[in-house]
Chain A
Amino acid sequence: MENKQSSSPASFVDSTVVPGDVVLDLSSMTNQTIKLGGGLRQDCDAISATKAGTLRFSKPNKYWIESSQKRYVPCVEDTILGIVVDSKADNFLIDIKGPAMGFLPVLAFEGGTRRNIPKFEVGTLLYLRVVKANFGMNPELSCTDASGKAAEFGPLKDGYMFETSTGLLRKLLSSPACPVLEALGKKLSFEIAVGLNGRVWVNAASPDTIVVVANAIMNSECLSGAQQIIMVDHLLKNIQ
């Protein structure tokens, strides 16, 4: 079989790979510790891709596959938007668009004790943090940050929630600020919460603003930075 790989592993970095591609050959890189992120798997000496996407590399030694999906796989320390489905004695059952329901312990709030357990109706939208996400177990969630403070987690009131792909969300959360959000923020005032599980919540004073912001974000998925700014200008001209 023809060996398509050139001798340096950098040949696959930033190019599209599909599941089954051998992207790194460990026998040619001795005495290095490399860290494998999502979408990569080790088979003795070969590192192969298990997801379709772009192979990324960050110095000094991290490799991972970036791709945009509609499904969400829970990871620790992700901030997500969940919807309450049921409440049990010890925890709330939360739908997080993943393979299993998330469990939110009833005490996982700032100053939470058995006496002041919050009562959430079925259908409440919550901004949460993933505490434990092991394969095969239901993920454990929390409404506090790592030090126990509330820090914006909790129920989101009013507003509008819509679903997108995970790639778009990471663009929205990247720093420096995403062009769409910057352009919208110059003319309109709104509040936004981005959940890494594919949900975005927008709130503003008037429904027109909410709709414009939501449409702008959904349209910006396949556009480059400059195109996004042009698209936002078009939208804003139409409402003013």
Chain B
Amino acid sequence: MEEADEMVTPGEVLGRATDLKAGKGAYAASHNNTIYASLTGFRRIQAPPPASHDKRPTVEVTGHKAHGPVPEPGSVVIARVTKVMARTVSADIMCVGPKSVREKFTGIIRQQDVRATEIDKVDMHLSFRPGDIVRAVVLSLGDARAYYLSTAKNELGVVSAESSAGATMVPISWTEMQCPLTGQIELRKVAKVVN
């Protein structure tokens, strides 16, 4: 790996499409056959894999904190619930797949995306509480404020929650979790943990 990588910013020319292939953080503009950077970071060139027909090395822009994992539609994320409202729940996305994110992303779970059956009878307060850790799947990029998440599958939902007495609760069914200290049962939309 080269040490003296230069720092590039979005819009800088990285090379020509005839010499290089665009990798992560770079794109090829078709009208003048040049490769431009689309992210900030260090410019790195990787040798082409020997078995491919294309002999061009790949140029990529990496090494900046903005290059942490980003939620994409269809990816499974772990989020912490921040606010429960009448028809939506806000959550802070903490991990995308197995990796933790490096900047803050917000997600929203709507009433109709909490579960797959009887979606108009969902009570948000009986499905999530502030502080719960949930596993959800990203439905779409949503609006400017938040991604849209969904927990409408058996393996999605609350993974870990704290009871009002302060202890981590044990799931006992797909709708109930029990506190080990007081024995009280609280209602959540529980994720089915498959080992």
Contacts and interface: CB of A to CB of B under 8 A. Distances in A.
Nearest to A44: B181
B21 interface: no
A208 interface: no
Nearest to B180: A44
Chain A interface mostly helix, strand, loop or mixed? Answer: strand
B173 interface: no
Most buried by A among B86, B125, B182: B86
Interface stretch (A57-65, A134-142, A216-224): A134-142
Contacts of B184: 42
Interface string A118-157: 0000000000000010101110100000000000000000
Contact of B182 (A44, A134, A136): A44
A158 interface: no
B66 interface: no
A201 interface: no
A103 interface: yes
Contacts of B97: none
Interface in B142-195: 165, 181-182, 184
A43 interface: yes
Secondary structure type dominating chain B contacts? loop
Contact of A43 (B83, B85, B165): B165
B135 interface: no
A136 B129 contact: yes
Nearest to B181: A44
B181 A132 contact: no
Contact of A132 (B83, B125, B165): B125
B84 interface: yes
A132 B182 CA distance: 25
Given A42-B165, A43-B165, A132-B125, A137 B182 contact: no
A134 B124 CA distance: 11
24 contacts: A41-B165, A42-B182, A42-B184, A43-B165, A43-B181, A43-B182, A44-B181, A44-B182, A103-B86, A132-B125, A134-B84, A134-B125, A136-B83, A136-B84, A136-B129, A136-B130, A137-B84, A137-B85, A137-B86, A137-B124, A137-B125, A138-B85, A138-B86, A140-B86
Interface of B: 83-86, 124-125, 129-130, 165, 181-182, 184
